[in-house]
Homo-oligomer: A and B are copies of this chain.
Amino acid sequence: MKKYTIKDIALLAGVSKGTVDRVIHNRGNVAKDVEEKVKQLLEEINYQPNLIARNLKNNKVFYIGVLIPDPKIDAYWAVCIDGINSALSEFSAFDVQINTFLFDPTDTDDFLACNDTMLKTAPDVILMVPLFYKEATSVLKHYESLNIPVGTFNNQIISSSANFIGQDLYQSGRIAAKLLHSISNKGDMAIVHIDEKYKNAVHMQEKEKGFKSYYDDMDLFEDSVLTCKIKYFETEDKLRDFLNNHPHIEGIFVTNSKAFHVARLLESENKTHIKLVGYDLLSDNVNYLNSGTIDFLIHQNPRQQAYLGLKYLIEYLVFDKQIPEKFLLPIDIINSENVTPFLRP
């Protein structure tokens, strides 16, 4: 129960605290038999250093580089800033300095340029959204060679050793399927990919796979699952054609945060009987959720992703904790009745 200090161990071993310290940090210059004895004692009483005292002495400032898409260009990322601030205030006792860089999520060159700018601030660790697979891969390799630990979220770059926070996208597609299946009439199901100009193809593919796997498992031969890919600028027309060509559609799954586009069309075309499931608590989506046109939203929790990613990095810096390789957040199902508490900062 009692908390042992270095002094206690020194007393027990009959040596000075300096020697104990040398043993703990493997700093050498200790006689073999003494080292053995001290190590055994440390083991026996399961010595845990007082992290408070350690951090009082190590009064150096840690610099963290954060690289995320600009919320002014895509509102989805706005809540990440909140998550970062949460982690920051949680560790306000420590000297952690954050430099945030916002890149244009439609521009790979800007992504690379921001990485360069960030490197100039000599960060001890980096938290980033590796939005572009190819560019991110090379950037991450570079950081690895510089021995800068990196945390990533939202997009997983499997080739990298960087830590990753996100969700199981395949499972997320299955959840959408289960929800639509449980609330829809018999009929066709549509998966709608609305491309946002930038590469989240992997995201959408995984979700589609999961969605289809659920319907495969169900052996619902009478219903078919259709897929519709739409470029951002042609959403309305193409979607209208798609719905007219497939009059038996009873449910739509939008694989990203743009479900509100579909909702708008369903309302204007008087097809609100079609059930709609999408992603993310953007205010546009939440409005359609409350009006009933969107039935469920799946919450990808970017706020929590950013928070956790940063927390792991800070704990690595100040407590020498191991950074977990991967952490998959639980997937929240949101409807009009439980949405409110998820919106608060």
List chain A positions with a Cβ less than 8 A from chain B.
1, 3, 48, 50-53, 55-56, 92-95, 97, 168, 171, 174-175, 177-179, 182-183, 214, 295, 328-338, 340-342
Contacts and interface: CB of A to CB of B under 8 A. Distances in A.
A264 B3 CA distance: 51
Given A53-B56, A182-B182, 10 more contacts: A3-B95, A52-B52, A171-B340, A175-B338, A182-B295, A183-B183, A330-B342, A331-B338, A333-B333, A333-B335
A26 to B, nearest CB: 23
A175 B335 contact: yes
A94 B328 CA distance: 29
Q: How many copies does the complex hold?
A: 2
Nearest to A178: B337
Contacts of A52: 52, 55-56, 93-94
Nearest to A214: B337
Nearest to A181: B183
A295 B329 CA distance: 22
Interface of A is mostly: mixed
B337 A175 contact: yes
Contacts of A331: 338, 341
A154 to B, nearest CB: 17
Contacts of A94: 52
Contacts of A177: 337
A328 B340 CA distance: 11
Nearest to A335: B178
Contacts of A332: 330, 332-333, 338
A337 B330 CA distance: 11
Contacts of A338: 171, 175, 330-333
A52 B51 CA distance: 9
B336 A178 contact: yes
Contacts of A97: 1
Contacts of A337: 171, 174-175, 177-178, 214
7 A-B pairs with least C-beta separation:
A330-B341, A51-B93, A333-B333, A175-B337, A178-B337, A331-B338, A182-B183
A56 B5 CA distance: 13
19 contacts: A1-B97, A48-B92, A50-B93, A51-B92, A52-B55, A52-B56, A52-B94, A171-B337, A174-B337, A175-B338, A179-B335, A182-B295, A183-B183, A214-B337, A329-B341, A330-B332, A330-B341, A331-B341, A332-B338
Contacts of A55: 52
Nearest to A179: B335
Contacts of A179: 335
Contacts of A3: 95
A331 B214 CA distance: 25
Nearest to A1: B97
A171 B340 CA distance: 10
